[in-house]
Structure 1
């Protein structure tokens, strides 16, 4: 079985992320969407919340599962028997950082390949950070995220307004 890891913070998951999931699901027998447990990034949602938001959108891809990891990605990939790491690219500006990470991961484990997947052009300017930012001001984010993410962001905004 050919397994790949699609890692990220996914705070929150976007339609661009789901586009990459769909592409990876066609290429591999099993895709593990790996939610990074990195409190230093100051995520809006907990790891458990992010995992739930992702899981609720995976019905079209029975070969995709969600997991989380706290440490080095290549160690997690090795533990799960992955042969590849999938990374989504939106624009040229993503490439330099992703290229550096791919080279470091190759240094740490040369058996695990990194594969770059271009997202649809409709999502090329979408990021979780930008979605959260415009959502705070009540903008329509429906073209960029699934409905459960809209609801979660609305709930978070309402609870912050009450505080």
Structure 2
């Protein structure tokens, strides 16, 4: 990886829905769907979904901090999830779909903590912000058919966005300011 590039890792439910908003931003070099936080090396989708590996579906973002800051990535992250639901996201339930921020250094940890506290204080939500902030662990790339799902299967992606309740939630809480097009 280029010396100036950095990693950001976010879990926000189904990783299919977490790629597109970041993928479209200037300064983002790559967005990869995968699994992190568990105990099994190189888990498969089936293993992760079974709940026995301890992994969470996540996206790992390679970004250029001279073009887009980690703070900006944090802002975009909040616009994609229900930050008051620690048990999963929308239709997807369980640990493999829990929301979490996996920081790669102390600066990211501090920015994530401050961003979470600011969202909590904002009054935007009537319930507390419960997203976990944890140190990054090994990240395992998901199977190829999961990568760039929104591009490979646009109709299925849109149906899932709407059917899961994610699109409705984002529209309700963020309206036109959701960061994705």
Q: TM over 0.5: same fold?
A: no
Scaled by the length of structure 2, the TM-score of the pair is: 0.35
User: When you count helix as a share of all residues, which structure comes out higher?
Assistant: 1
Scaled by the length of structure 1, the TM-score of the pair is: 0.38
